[in-house]
Each structure stands twice: as C-alpha cells, then as structure tokens.
Amino acid sequence: MRVIPVLFLLLASSAMPMVNAQGQPDIVQEHWYHSWSTLTADAHDWMVENPEIVELRSAGETVQGRDQWVVVITDESMETKTDGTPKEMVYIDGGHHGNEHLGTELAFLVAEYYIEGWIAGDEDVIEVLQNTELHIMILLNADGNDIDSRWNINQVDLNRNYDHHWTTDETASGSGPFSEPETLNNADYMNEFMVDADLYVTMHTGTWILAYPWGFTGEMPSDYELFEHIRDTIHETIDADLPVRNANAGIYPTHGTSRDYGYGVMGYPTFTFETDDEQFLLGTAEELSSRLSTELDVMRYLISNVWYWRARLQVNSLDLAIGDKMTLDVTNLGHASTSNASVQYVDSEGIELWTSDNFSVNATNSTVAVLPADNLTLVDGGVFQLYYQKRVIDASTWVNESINQTAIDISEPDDSGWLPFASPIWAILAIGLAGYKRNKHFNADY
Ligand SMILES: [Zn+2]
C-alpha cells in the first residue's frame, strides 16, 4: 500500500507549472496519481482554458470540506443536438474507495481524452461532444484519498452506504443509508442533473472486470439483453478477455452500492469498472493511458453508442379502423427492451383523451400490435404519441414521443375498400423483418 507524501504533493501542486499552451502536462499526468489538490488544479485549468466545452461544478463537500468536483464536458455552443432533440447524458464517477488510485485515474483519463481530443480537432470526439453531455465526478472520496484509505474519514465504506438494499450486514456500511455526505451528494447530483442519463459507470480497482447489476442478488437484471449485447460487442470488437458479468457472480455479493442504486433507483444502465488489482508505482516507465488503454477503449465504445442503451421505438405504420381497432407496426432501434409501451391520443392542449392497452417490444426487434380502439373518439387537432419506458427495470424513465403523421392511416367504418397496406409495401416490410430476424441477438446463457 502506497502512502502519498502529502507535503511533497503540496509543493508539487504549488511550485510546478500545471499547464502549458497545449493543455495538460502529460509527463506529470501519465506517471503520478492525483491527490485532491492536484485534481482541483487540473480541473480548474481545464475549465479556464476550454470554456467552450468544460464546466466545473461542485456536487457538495466531503466530511472534511473538500469539494466533490464534477467536470461537465460538452459543446456548450449547442443546447441540443442539431435535430433539436436533447443531448445524450452520461454519468461517471471514480474514487469511492480512496486507495483505489487506478480507478480514479481512469475517470480522469476519460475526461482528459475528450478535452484533448476536442483541442486536437478529433472528429469523433467533436461529434460526441456535440451530441452528449459527459458529467464526471473524478474523485468522490477525497478525504480517504488523502490518507490512502478505502473508507471515508468516518471509517465508512461509501460503496455500501447507498439507499438500495442497505444493510448492517456489510462491513462499515455506515449508521444508515446515505449517512455520509459523499454518497448523499452523489445521489443528489444524479437526481438533480442526471435523471435522463442512459449510462452510468463507477470506477474502482480490484479484480479486472466490467460488472453490471446486480450485486445484492444473483438474479439477472431485467435488462439482461442490453448488458449481454454490450458484453458480446466488447468481446468481439475490443478485448475477448475482459470479464463482463453481473457483479454478484463476477465480484461477490454486495449491498448498498452506487451501481445497484444507479440501476435500481435511477433506472440507468450501470457498470462498475474495476481496473486490475496492481497499483501503479511512482517512477514506473509505463504510461497510465497505455496501462488503461483497454479500459479507455471500452469507455469510448460505451459513450459513443449511448443512444442505443435504451428502447428507441419508431412507428412504421399506425392504422386505425375507427370504432374497431388499431394496428401498430413498431421497430425498436435501441438495444434495450420495453414492456409497458402504449399509444396515447391527446388533444391540441396535450390533454390525454385515450390510452391503448400496453404492448412490449423486444430489444432490436419489431412488433405488430393489434390494439382494441372501439372507445377512441377522434377530435380536431388530436395527435397520437407513444408513451413507454426506456428500459425494462421499474425505475427507468418514461418518454413521450410523437408519432410521425405520415405513418398514420385512418379508415372510416363504412370504408369497405380499405386495405392496411398496398402490396408492394408488404413486400418491403417482409424483407425488413427477415433482416431483423437474421440480426437478432441470440441469448443462450441464462
Ligand atoms: Zn472499490
């Protein structure tokens, strides 16, 4: 276990030039761990030098009064995506355990990657920052980090202190759920700013693994298809050896973790990213960004594809036979299933007049739902919209999305010549459905 020479770090942070014209002094960043004071200096410099993409917020203070900095990275010139829809939201934290330095450095490296990529004009990074807000709390447990301790200054294991199946059976879980300011501040930040996030990754050091929920039970999470899709893609395209498993089996059973809270209470797809167990030594020749290159590649993949980490329903056709039924053809472009979808009919004021029965759409699949509609009465200015949950987990966010008018076909009851589709359209649909079947992900493990 390495003890950080505090006096040395204080000298380093005050006497050394922390920045240069190109951004961060990589020779320093690549070979030292951050303390709270050097992280504060670096994050401040990021904000001052790159105001067009970096904002620095404090989510609150630790027991000893250190700010829990959140680095917010996005193209500030764009309020929304170019199509006017809200930007994707990604939440990352590091340093729950103060002595797990590589996990904290991974959170720092992710922030640095996007900031330096923007400065260098990297097209992929620019596209991500135009479409995504990254919120990164690099060091949650700054007090513990300063004394190289797993716990916070109250001797609490912060990753057992969340209000999700909290129990005194876990070692040092605190006097109650959210008894510690560090965890409460993190949850408050999620609830205030990150409700719509479609990815949360919390970074640690231990067994090398990317672990998804649950920790508190061995049962698979409701959104297992999403997690297994991500696992398979990582194995096929990045690293076949990185274990990607549910935390209960892949690490060990745990209660009150931020990962389970993020999934079970906030409804995010969540991961614990544990880098390997060996800590990094001062003076080593290996650079942190090369030591953590696989982890960075996985993070880039998870962030670039965040659009897919929820259900994304697209209505191909909505055929309403007035006084009878509605036939809905809907495709899921995302990789998460949804089980509580419905069609709503609202008036011009947005007041709900009618809601269909619920239907489900599997991940990356299509569904034709025939829904009773005998009690639906159309009004002037009325519109149809979809209402559904982004994922299967109960806590996941509900979305309301309008249905493209051109997909809607309404027929009167006496319209005996009405047909739902012209035959060439059927042929095109059949080809499309065959394609979906071929591409459908096959889950045989559980
Ligand atoms: Zn940890």
Amino acid identity of residue 338, one-letter, is T
Place of tokens 């990356």: 364
Q: Is residue 293 domain-shared with residue 327, that is, in the same domain?
A: no
Mean pLDDT of 302-318: 97
Q: Is residue 206 domain-shared with residue 114, that is, in the same domain?
A: yes
C-alpha distance from residue 287 to each of 22, 121, 209, 297, 370 (Å): 19, 23, 21, 15, 58
134 occurs within a structural domain: yes
301 occurs within a structural domain: yes
445 occurs within a structural domain: no
Distance 23 CA to ligand 1 centre (A): 30
Distance 360 CA to ligand 1 centre (A): 37
Query: pTM here?
Result: 0.86
Distance 444 CA to ligand 1 centre (A): 31
Q: Is residue 218 domain-shared with residue 345, that is, in the same domain?
A: no
Q: Is residue 301 domain-shared with residue 409, that is, in the same domain?
A: no
446 occurs within a structural domain: no
Q: Is residue 283 domain-shared with residue 406, that is, in the same domain?
A: no
Q: Is residue 128 domain-shared with residue 183, that is, in the same domain?
A: yes
444 occurs within a structural domain: no
| Domain end among 308, 343, 373 | 308
User: 274 by DSSP, 3-state: which?
Assistant: strand
Number of domains in the chain: 2
77/124 Cα distance (integer angstroms): 17
Residues near 360 by beta carbon (within 8 Å), at least 6 away in sequence: 337, 338, 339, 340, 341, 367
- Between CA 180 and CA 185, with CA 182 as vertex, the angle to 5 degrees is 105
Q: Is residue 321 domain-shared with residue 220, that is, in the same domain?
A: no
Residues with CB under 5 A from ligand 1 (ion): 97, 100, 204
Asked if pLDDT for residue 19 goes beyond 90, the answer is no
| Domain end among 239, 274, 308 | 308
3 band by pLDDT with thresholds 50, 70 and 90: very low
Q: Is residue 274 domain-shared with residue 352, that is, in the same domain?
A: no
Q: Is residue 350 domain-shared with residue 274, that is, in the same domain?
A: no
Amino acid identity of residue 41, one-letter, is A
Mean pLDDT of 337-349: 96
Which string of DSSP letters, residue by residue, matches 112-132? HHHHHHHHHT-HHHHHHHHHE
Dihedral of alpha carbons 75, 79, 84, 88, sign: positive
Q: Is 222 left (phi over 0), alpha (psi -120 to 50) or beta?
A: alpha
Q: Is residue 403 domain-shared with residue 258, that is, in the same domain?
A: no
Distance 381 CA to ligand 1 centre (A): 55
What confidence tens digit (pLDDT) does each residue in 386-438 have? 999 999 999 999 999 999 999 999 998 765 544 444 444 443 443 434 333 33
Q: Is residue 159 domain-shared with residue 257, that is, in the same domain?
A: yes
CATH code for the domain in which residue 365 is found: 2.60.40
CATH code for the domain in which residue 64 is found: 3.40.630.10
Distance 151 CA to ligand 1 centre (A): 10
Distance 148 CA to ligand 1 centre (A): 13
Distance 96 CA to ligand 1 centre (A): 6
**Which tokens sit at 402?**
């309008």
Q: Is residue 318 domain-shared with residue 272, that is, in the same domain?
A: no
75 occurs within a structural domain: yes
What confidence tens digit (pLDDT) does each residue in 116-128 have? 999 999 999 999 9
**Which tokens sit at 283?**
């003076």
Distance 129 CA to ligand 1 centre (A): 29
Among 202, 209, 201, 200, CA closest to 277: 209
Distance 181 CA to ligand 1 centre (A): 18
129 occurs within a structural domain: yes
Which string of DSSP letters, residue by residue, matches 7-61? HHHHHHHHHS---BTTBS-HHHHTTS---HHHHHHHHHHHHHH-TTTEEEEEEEE
274 occurs within a structural domain: yes
Compute how many other C-beta atoms are within 10 angstroms of the C-beta atom of residue 104: 29
At residue 27, the pLDDT reads: 66
Contact of 343 with 385, CB cutoff 8 Å:
yes
| Domain end among 283, 308, 333 | 308
Q: What range does the domain containing 384 cover?
A: 313-439
Distance 103 CA to ligand 1 centre (A): 8
Residues near 159 by beta carbon (within 8 Å), at least 6 away in sequence: 96, 97, 202, 204, 254, 256, 257, 258
